[in-house]
Amino acid sequence: MARQMHKRTSAKLQARVKRHERIRKKLSGTLERPRLCVLRTNRGLEVQLVDDDAAKTLLGLRTPTKETANKTHATDLGKKIAEQAKARGITRVVFDRGGYIYHGKIAAFAAGAREAGLDF
């Protein structure tokens, strides 16, 4: 079911939300292979490992709030979440890019997570 947007919501945001809804129809996380979802804000990145079957967040991290995130921060965040996930016994995930284009910070985050040992 499509989300209702306020009429002043930008076309860019509406397009991203539609892309995310299309992606979420096909993606689902389980306890064995949770969904690694990304939220990009103006200041940073927030990531979560989600078990959609139980509707629970297994792990969540964000970039430091003192400064605006860049590709280096995104790569470090990817490595950090991969290390914490491996400590909890999670090595395989489903990557949910949140409707964002796989470029820049999103790609850097994914590369950092893969480099640290997550498989997706």
**Could you tell me if residue 85 is inside a domain?**
yes
Which residues does residue 12 pair with via DSSP β-bridges, in sequence order? none
**Could you tell me if residue 13 is inside a domain?**
no
Low-confidence ranges of the chain (pLDDT < 50): none
**Could you tell me if residue 53 is inside a domain?**
yes
**Could you tell me if residue 20 is inside a domain?**
no
Q: Give me the pLDDT at residue 67, please.
A: 82
**Could you tell me if residue 96 is inside a domain?**
yes
Number of domains in the chain: 1
Q: Give me the pLDDT at residue 3, please.
A: 64
Domain range spanning residue 77?
Answer: 30-115
**Could you tell me if residue 89 is inside a domain?**
yes
HSE-up (13 A, CA, CB side) for residue 39: 9
Q: Scanning the structure block, which residue is given the tokens 């470090």?
A: 76
Q: Global pTM?
A: 0.88
**Could you tell me if residue 87 is inside a domain?**
yes
**Could you tell me if residue 120 is inside a domain?**
no
**CATH code where residue 81 lies:** 3.30.420.100
Q: Give me the pLDDT at residue 66, please.
A: 82
Taking every pair of Cα atoms in the chain, the longest distance, rounded to a whole number of angstroms, is: 45
